Amino acid sequence: MTTHSSRVYGVLKNGTPVTEHTLRAPSGALLRAITYGGIVTAIHVPDREGRLADVVLGFDNLAAYETRHPYFGAITGRVAGRIPNGAFEAGGRVRQLELNDGQNHLHGGWCGLDRRVWEADVVPMDSGDALRLQYTSPAGEEGYPGEVRIEVVYEFTHAHEFVIRTRATTSESTPLSLTNHSYFHLGGDGHGTVLDHRVSIFADQAFPASADMTPSLDPEPVGGRCYDFRRPTLLADALPHLHRNHGDFYFFGKDRPAVPRRAALVEHGASGRRLEVFSSDTGLQFYTSSMMDCPLPGKSGRVYELYSGLCLECHGHPGASGIPAIGDILLHPGEVQTRETRYVFSAA
């Protein structure tokens, strides 16, 4: 059974204390997360020889997480991804959000959910202890309408599954599409780039990106295109052909399944580690960390270079407000939005 422990992680510049929570499996594998941004600071899983390594990027101190880092491990939203011009329509009105990425609204704005302190408690699950994080986003935060009550549960099972379940309600119609923004390196944090990882993404369609990386509203078949990852592809081979070496937003269909569907698989030959992704959401943003710009050293003491990790961000299309054909992300009063994503670690 997974067990829980906690400790004081640090104090923010404004004096707010931050707690670190550890979920430990019987094998010794573990997941650590802090109440600041719900950031996953560490995931230790075994390789084919049973040796544990930390497979997510990040820092070992709170001061670094308070800087403008690239969303390492954070709960991202209210809407993950880029909303063109920061505008959307709800209730017959055009709403304007904060512009924090040129002319776009990115990952919830200047002070999104990744920079909020979440309330935390422990909830019992069949696998043992799980961590529940809760935050109430007030109406008007970063321009979003409605007060939104959000619950995110992190579960780490004896089988080394990182399960994320979200639940949210709102007082007014608002877009809501959360994700976890962990950067994975299956060889271990600080062990160079992920160019030697093989990637599979089980989607038949993707949204081409514009010059400023906003996804189109019209999905295209991936067949015959550079972003076709339906068969295992070495990232080093695919990278030169991707738009800005970045990665694309993949579409699984407008309907959300009751049981999370298989979305992606990443394999690392040297360690034998595998990461399989399942999600009930409509899309997956694959990101190669081609825009990695982080001058601070990570947990290994090294500054992260380009392609130091890869992201598999499960969420809805950021521009899908009021567009059912691509998976409407508007949440309305009286509704309960629930999502589930599973990151399943194993070793071949």
> Which residue numbers are catalytic?
181, 313
- Kindly tell me the burial class for residue 258, based on how many C-beta atoms sit within 10 Å of its own C-beta (0-12, 13-18, 19 or more): exposed
Written in H, E and C, the secondary structure of 23-41 is: EECCCCCEEEEECECCCEE
Query: Residue 318 in contact with residue 80, Cβ under 8 Å?
Result: yes
| Residue 128 φ then ψ, to 5° | 125, -150
- Single-letter residue type at 254: K
Query: Residue 267 in contact with residue 251, Cβ under 8 Å?
Result: no
Cα gap 128→330, rounded to integer Å: 34
Give the CB-side neighbour count of residue 235, counting CA atoms within 13 A: 27
Where are the alpha helices (H) located in the chain, listed in sequence order?
62-65, 235-238
Cα gap 192→316, rounded to integer Å: 31
Buried b (16+ CB within 10 A) or exposed e, 161-170: bbbbbbebbb
Starting at the edge strand found earlier in the chain, the sheet holding 3-11 runs: 3-11, 17-24, 30-34, 40-46, 52-54
